[in-house]
Copies of this chain bind each other. A is one copy, B any other.
Amino acid sequence: MLDKRALRLARGANYASLATVMPDGSMQVHVMWVDADDDHILINTETHRPKFRNMMANPRATVMIPERGNPWHFAEVRGEVVGTVTGAEARSHIDALAHKYMGVDEYPNPITSERVIVRIAPERVFVYPPG
């Protein structure tokens, strides 16, 4: 369900907008690093963050990924959180993202609580421009 262009945008060093639903029904939209496996958008965050708590309480999430420097080319993935991974795999994944975005081998920022990979299954994928 992730078409080739959405996969390319999620795997490139592009900055995503992640939308989650706050407890009051308003939408949080933040800039995030992003990744994808063959079937899911992957977000790496920490377990104490409101965006993570939002997704645990309400599994809806939308990830919109504009091409860096060319924002009218973007993929919008509306989906549902279907799994989370913590521990060594999540730590290793944030290091891989640090490599992709910063060219370093290890994520350099302090970790406040615990890293977690959030797996988002796409329900609807739009890619602009179409075709």
Where the two chains meet, the residues of A that have a C-beta atom closer than 8 Å to any C-beta of B are 15, 17, 19, 21-22, 25-31, 60-64, 66, 69, 71-72, 74, 76, 78, 123-124, 128
Q: Which chain B residues border A31 with CB–CB below 8 Å?
A: 64, 66, 71-72, 74, 128
Q: Majority SS of interface residues in chain A?
A: strand
A22 partner residues in chain B, CB cutoff 8 A: 78
Q: Give the oligomeric copy count.
A: 2
CB contacts (< 8 Å) of A27 on chain B: these are: 19, 21, 27, 60-62, 78
| Bound: A128/B17 CA distance, A | 14
Checking B17, B29, B62 against A26 with a beta-carbon cut-off of 8 angstroms, the contacting residue is B62
The 3 A-B residue pairs with the shortest CB-CB distance, nearest first, are A17-B17, A29-B64, A27-B62
A6–B31 Cα distance when bound, in Å, is: 15
Question: A63's closest neighbor in chain B, by CB?
Answer: B29
A29 to chain B, nearest CB (A): 4
Given the complex, which residues of B lie within 8 Å of A17, measured CB to CB? 17, 19, 29, 64
